[in-house]
Amino acid sequence: MLKQETKQEWRKLDEAVRLLRAQILLSNKCLEKLKAIKATIQAENKGADIVAAVQEMEPALLELGKFAKRKQEFLDRQNVSSVQQVLAREADSERKRVAIHLLHRAQEFEESLAQEVTTTRFLLKKGKEYVDFNINVMTQTVASEIYNQDAAESESRREIKMFDSSV
């Protein structure tokens, strides 16, 4: 038979559940916005479309920042560094099982967000490299022996323009 929870334990678990639900909702919102940014980048849209997609994500990121502060305040009041530690201190109950389930869902969303951020970062890097290359072509940057940043900065440059027809 489960021992009866005190009011303080109930409040602590209730607050943990509220925080975890808020984290899941915010993570889902950020994930949707990040996927929209990624889709915009992959569609090779204009820069203005990407800027608009990023601006749509800004409010969600601000909310996430406020949430992180609330969560940290809760953890500080409990004298722990994670929600897992709060739950580990509590007696087994239905509320605790709900909180553990929500914790696992929140962790799944965090992992999905991390994957999307990595993919989007890669796409942005490739897009930047593409833009840099095109700018170099348009400005007729002098080609080096090996066309990369290190060679461009070295002293051993050929004085032949890229795409020079006289070569």
pLDDT of residue 129: 86
End-to-end alpha-carbon separation of the chain, Å? 88
Model pLDDT for residues 83-97, shown as the tens digit of each residue? 999 888 888 888 889
pLDDT at 4: 54
- The tens digit of pLDDT for each residue in 21-69 reads 999 999 999 999 999 989 988 887 677 788 888 899 999 999 999 999 9
Which comes out higher in pLDDT, residue 166 or 77? Answer: 77
pTM (two decimals): 0.70
Q: How confident is the model at residue 1 (pLDDT cuts 50, 70, 90)?
A: very low
Name 113's Cβ contacts closer than 8 Å, sequence gap at least 6: 27, 30, 31, 34
Helices (H), the chain: 7-42, 47-78, 83-89, 94-138, 149-153
